[in-house]
Chain A
Amino acid sequence: MASTIRVRATSNGDTTEVQALIQHPMDSGFVKDARGQIIPPHFIQELTFEYDGKAVFVADWGGGISKDPYVKFAFKGGKKGDDLKVSWVDNKGATDTTTAKIQ
């Protein structure tokens, strides 16, 4: 299985723009399947972007976020060629993490 995280970070000198796409079902726990059974909640609870050992963006998510979420933000700083670390933890304790070079 390839990584569930796609990330692209581009620096323009003083700020870095980050886009990320994460593959995750993000089940809210309020939806029933075809047989009328509730699909149990399964969503990302915490998403973290770390640069230079510091968290630059932390999202506390719940079931209200859509499936395969897309995130876009910018932060001050960030140099071309440096690493940006992305990781998430979901309510079942599963996690995934990836590192991307800032372009």
Chain B
Amino acid sequence: MKTRSAIPVASAALALALLAFVTPPVAAADTVDPAADARAFKKFFTDKFPKLKPEDFVNGPYSMNEDLHKQWEEKEQFPPYEFSLEAGKEMFSKPFKNGKSYQDCFPNKGIGIRQNYPYFDEKEGKVVTLELALNRCREANGEAPLSYVKDDMAALTAYMAFTSRGKPFDIKIPNDPRALEAYQKGKEYFYTRRGQLNFSCATCHVQSPGERIRAEVLAPALGILNALPIYRSEWSGMGTTSRRFTTCNSQIRGVPLDPQADEYRDLEYYLSYVSNGLPISGPGARP
């Protein structure tokens, strides 16, 4: 992957050369245009599922299958993530040893801001996800970081998502070549095949949403992060975005990266960006 960084530079030069010769200018096929990507991405799914309203996509497999939808409506009367949500609410306002709490680390005291994460941090030059921001908040206040995959982290993000329910994803890509690069890398990760089964994320979540994989119904990539964190019956517990990424990687018999590795952060950036405008529906429940 290291050698690839030379390619954009070369292609930019090529594009410039093209511009010099060709009028009217033809956009080079590999220029990064997130807005056009997101439009094309949405169009692909809305064409594939013409009956669905855009906001239905955030409910993943439940919008794809009538039986599942019925079960889900029943489940939602008594959501399995309730215990976690309650624990998260308690944790969120509980002060650390130094008297500060999570509320002091976030704009608007952390209420109703989930839809702005992940964001590109211009100081660091990297994508910062909500989970990462929560752990940095802990470390800044002298607390040990939490595990990224389950219990406490899931409870905290569940509460933050809950306070943002219904707010549309609002991911911004600042005018910074590093931000575009992060977006592009996330997109590459999403479409790159890997693992013993040679699957990319897109193999399941773009090619086959609504199809069965064994007994599960695959969710569409559009709006796939809106419902996170989720209670999965398969896990009989909660899981975060990090957990979803790592388990996806191991299910295709690849080697998962560490939670919050740069690639995962970029991937979350890409996936959230193309779902811009769809409402947050987390915490969710999945079979």
A residues near B, CB below 8 A? 2, 6, 8, 19, 21, 23, 66-68, 70
For this complex, 10 residue pairs linking A to B, each with C-beta atoms less than 8 Å apart, are A2-B86, A6-B78, A8-B78, A19-B78, A21-B78, A21-B80, A21-B82, A67-B236, A68-B83, A68-B236
**In the complex, A19 Cα to B86 Cα: how many Å?**
19
The contact size tier of chain B is under 10
| B5 at the binding interface (Cβ < 8 Å) | no
| Distance (whole angstroms) from the CB of B78 to the closest CB of chain A | 5
| Distance (whole angstroms) from the CB of A44 to the closest CB of chain B | 16
- 4 other contacts beyond A19-B77, A19-B78, with CB at 8 A cut-off? A8-B77, A21-B78, A21-B82, A68-B236
The 8 A CB mask of B63-94 against A (1 = contact, 0 = none) is: 00000000000000110101100100000000
Chain B residues with Cβ below 8 Å from A2 are 86
**In the complex, A70 Cα to B231 Cα: how many Å?**
15
- Most chain B beta-carbon contacts within 10 A, residue among A2, A8, A66: A2
**In the complex, A19 Cα to B76 Cα: how many Å?**
12
**In the complex, A66 Cα to B235 Cα: how many Å?**
12
The 7 closest A-B pairs by CB, nearest first: A23-B83, A67-B236, A21-B78, A2-B86, A19-B78, A6-B82, A6-B78
**In the complex, A67 Cα to B82 Cα: how many Å?**
15
CB-based contact A68/B82 at 8 Å: no
| Distance (whole angstroms) from the CB of B81 to the closest CB of chain A | 11
**In the complex, A66 Cα to B77 Cα: how many Å?**
20
| Distance (whole angstroms) from the CB of A49 to the closest CB of chain B | 16
**In the complex, A50 Cα to B82 Cα: how many Å?**
24
Chain A residues with Cβ below 8 Å from B86 are 2
Chain A residues with Cβ below 8 Å from B236 are 66-68
| Distance (whole angstroms) from the CB of A78 to the closest CB of chain B | 18
Chain B residues with Cβ below 8 Å from A19 are 77-78
CB-based contact A68/B80 at 8 Å: yes
Chain B residues with Cβ below 8 Å from A21 are 78, 80, 82
**In the complex, A23 Cα to B83 Cα: how many Å?**
8
**In the complex, A14 Cα to B82 Cα: how many Å?**
30
Chain A residues with Cβ below 8 Å from B78 are 6, 8, 19, 21, 70
**In the complex, A21 Cα to B82 Cα: how many Å?**
10
Chain B residues with Cβ below 8 Å from A23 are 83
| Distance (whole angstroms) from the CB of B185 to the closest CB of chain A | 33
Complex interface residues of chain B between 224 and 261 (CB less than 8 A to chain A): 236
